[in-house]
A and B are shown apart, each in its own frame.
Chain A
Amino acid sequence: MPLNLTTATVAVGDQAPVLTHTLSRTDLVRYAGASGDYNPMHHDEPKAVAARQPSVFGHGMLSMGIVGTALTHYVGVGALQTFSVRFARQTWPGEELSTEITVTAIDGNVATLEVKLRNGDGEEKVVGQATALLGAA
């Protein structure tokens, strides 16, 4: 299985390239179709407003997916072993979401990474942790 990183090329403190994505209502519709999650809070504005939300909002699993995209770009799809997130805040259409991924520990051939997704104001949307396999040096 291809491993993008090796024990020789990665060090604690390294950061993955930042991935930035401006969330649109169209993204929410596409994600609903792709994931099969048709909760109306994510695509039906009148229902979301009736539920006292300012507008439709992003699926938590879409936030996780965006971070997952940046993670797998960095470590390689087959290298990702675990990926855990806490959904800290809702995401809103129009927000510019940016990933922040830092290597925090290396134990043998496994790297631990801290992951975050923030909006343009720095608000944390999801925070979590992942582990990835590293190739031999």
Chain B
Amino acid sequence: MADFPDHSGALAALVGQSSGPIELSPDPVNTAMIRHWVEAMGDTNPVYTDHDAAVAAGYPGIVAPATMLQAWIMRGLKHTLDLEAARAAGNAPKGDANSQMMALFDEEGRTSVVATNCDQEYFRPLVLGDRLLVKSSIESISDPKQTGLGHGRFATSLMEFFAVPNDAVTKDLTNEQLAERGALVGTMRFRILKFRPGTGAVAPKAKPPRPRPAITQDNAFYFEGTLAGELRIQRCTDCGALRHPPLPACGKCASLNWDYVVSEGRGELLSMVVNHFPQVPAFDYPLPIGLIALDEGTRIVANLAGEPGDWTIGDRVVAEIVRFDDELALPVFHHETKEA
């Protein structure tokens, strides 16, 4: 495994720090966003959309769904795009504890992230006109742990939500002052796992076998050959022309008489494609496939070893007969090394 630094000390220093300044929700709790939310959820409870129904149910008016808590303070796409543009221009705003923590995780090789837990507390339902503020901090960072997904650390952020009436928001008051006047209406703890990709403890699922070729009288010699470790190429016994893939008749003289030669498996890469889609679980991706001009004089389509970027048209190649399972072996072409 690559050598990664251990930032335990620097990470411990971030625990308890606020992730950034207190933020004010862009909009007060409103019916339009509630309607979008309940429609996405398939929630038909009328207390979220119908004032009279909400009053009849005992609420002062329309209330917001409890799990919508965090949505009120999400800053949306524009904010994310602005941030990405700033980063691309080298003006990344830095310094808040959360981005410091993420950068330290990345340096430790923990570049993959997955959300693992969300805990919410609700102290009262949110009503139309509530304006939310959120105070975020890093509550805990775990020691490194081996998890099913990989070697990682768990980090829990704590968000405390305060509400003030929308008309209390004026330019004279800072977010901190507003939050002090507000009521704590809920909390949310969000736990993530940042882990090193490819270090999971869980063995990957067994791959299904490669698709079987349809074996015929004409091509059986070829697949029997690969199973015997040979790359057999069909030859017309009348005119001597080689042909591949196997066919009943010669394309040059139409003779039905043939045998085969055993190719050295050496040649030149004439062309290639990379199969991105559709992906079949039996194969590894990216999947480079080459058209090879064999030195003996015909062409063959076969898998290329390695990554697509390893290959250039005109490369000298040599076949390795790879046995995929008891029933199937096929040539895979590698770069020809100079030793031969």
- Judging by beta carbons under 8 Å apart, are A33 and B59 in contact? no
Q: Who on chain A is nearest to B71 by CB?
A: A35
Q: What 1/0 mask marks residues of chain B from 57 to 86 whose CB sits below 8 Å from any chain A CB?
A: 111000101111011001111001000000
Q: Which residues of B contact A1 (CB under 8 A)?
A: 58-59, 124-125
- Judging by beta carbons under 8 Å apart, are A27 and B40 in contact? yes
Q: Which residues of A contact B283 (CB under 8 A)?
A: none
Tell me, yes or no, whether B120 is within 8 Å of chain A by CB: yes
- Judging by beta carbons under 8 Å apart, are B63 and A77 in contact? yes
Tell me, yes or no, whether B116 is within 8 Å of chain A by CB: yes
Main secondary structure of the interface of A (DSSP, over half): helix
- Judging by beta carbons under 8 Å apart, are A83 and B66 in contact? yes
A134 to B41, CA, bound (A): 25
Residue of B40, B45, B277 contacting most chain A CB atoms (<10 Å): B40
- Judging by beta carbons under 8 Å apart, are B66 and A68 in contact? yes
Tell me, yes or no, whether B50 is within 8 Å of chain A by CB: no
Given A35-B74, A64-B67, A68-B66, CB of A81 within 8 Å of CB of B118:
no
Q: Who on chain A is nearest to B32 by CB?
A: A34
- Judging by beta carbons under 8 Å apart, are A2 and B57 in contact? yes
B321 to chain A, nearest CB (A): 29
Q: Who on chain A is nearest to B277 by CB?
A: A49
- Judging by beta carbons under 8 Å apart, are B115 and A60 in contact? yes
Q: Which residues of A contact B39 (CB under 8 A)?
A: 30, 34
Q: Who on chain A is nearest to B63 by CB?
A: A77
Give the residue of A19, A30, A77, A85 whose beta carbon is less than 8 angstroms from that of B36. A30
Q: Which residues of B contact A82 (CB under 8 A)?
A: 119-122
- Judging by beta carbons under 8 Å apart, are A77 and B67 in contact? no
Q: Who on chain A is nearest to B121 by CB?
A: A82
- Judging by beta carbons under 8 Å apart, are B65 and A77 in contact? yes
Tell me, yes or no, whether A122 is within 8 Å of chain B by CB: no
A85 to B120, CA, bound (A): 9
A79 to B124, CA, bound (A): 9
A58 to chain B, nearest CB (A): 11
Q: Which residues of A from 34 to 91 have beta carbons under 8 Å from B?
A: 34-38, 49, 60-62, 64-66, 68-69, 72-73, 77-78, 80-87
- Judging by beta carbons under 8 Å apart, are A66 and B41 in contact? yes
Q: Which residues of B from 109 to 128 have beta carbons under 8 Å from A?
A: 114-122, 124-125
Can you name 29 A-B residue pairings with CB atoms under 8 Å?
A: A2-B57, A19-B42, A31-B37, A34-B33, A34-B39, A34-B71, A35-B37, A35-B74, A36-B71, A36-B75, A36-B77, A38-B80, A61-B67, A61-B70, A62-B40, A65-B37, A65-B41, A66-B42, A68-B67, A69-B41, A69-B42, A69-B43, A77-B47, A78-B58, A78-B63, A80-B66, A84-B117, A85-B119, A86-B116
